[in-house]
Amino acid sequence: MMKKPCQCLWIVLFGMLVFAGPSFSEDMYVASVTEISLRTGPSVDNKIVAMLKTGSKLEVIEFNTDWSQVRIDNGKSGWVLSRFITPKKPEILLLDELKEKNQALLSKIAQLEEENKSLVAKTASLGELEGKFSKLQQDSADFLKLEAKYNAVIQENEAQKAVIEKLETSMDSEPKLWFLIGPGVFIVGLFFGLSSRKKKRTSLL
């Protein structure tokens, strides 16, 4: 006789576990309906506290088969019909989340495109700088060649100046030499002339 009450007790407990519904303080959502009423008690005779739209998030305080006590975001609590709430996120919320993610991706793409444009501009600027640097290197090489030629011309000019100065010095000294040689030649010629006259006179005698 004692076994039947125990069996009945186990059946009742099992039934409570199966049909107990959501646990205390579990979050649920207003199902896909236009609006539901939040009332002060578990009856349509109770006063309406607020109207809840599809996708409104609810904190379940007490879940029952017909009416459940819930709390909304602004802290107000009340009773709603249990058949109008669900633990599954409504599709409208999922759609909104997808829209937000899509918008975030579009913003990211736009940002990446701007960064790509900036990189392209920087690459073009870098190429221009490389071209200028190459030209500067070429100009520097040409300048060094010109400088070497200039130095060679300067050295050659200095050498020619030295030769010219030497020639000018020698040309300045030649008139003095002829000035000194001239009287000597005259005296020698006079000497030879007198000597030849004496010889002629001697031969006549």
29 confidence band (pLDDT: 50, 70, 90)? confident
Examine the pLDDT at 175 and tell me if it is beyond 90.
no
What's the CATH architecture for 10-89? Roll (2.30)
- Give the predicted TM-score (pTM) of the model: 0.37
Inter-residue contact 69 to 46 (CB < 8 Å):
no
3-state helix, strand, coil in the chain (%, to 5): 65, 15, 20
Residues 58 and 126: their CA atoms lie apart, in Å, by 58
Share of the chain above pLDDT 90, in %: 18
Residue type, 16: M
Amino acid at 205: L
Residue 110 scores a pLDDT above 60: yes
Q: How confident is the model at residue 61 (pLDDT cuts 50, 70, 90)?
A: very high
Q: How many residues does the chain have?
A: 205
**Gyration radius from the chain CA atoms:** 62
Under 8 Å between Cβ of 90 and 55: yes
The whole-number pLDDT of residue 113 equals 87
Residue pair 59/29 in contact (Cβ under 8 Å)? The answer is no
CB atoms within 10 A of CB 156: 10
Mean pLDDT, to the nearest integer, of 75-89?
89
* Average pLDDT of the chain to the nearest whole number: 76
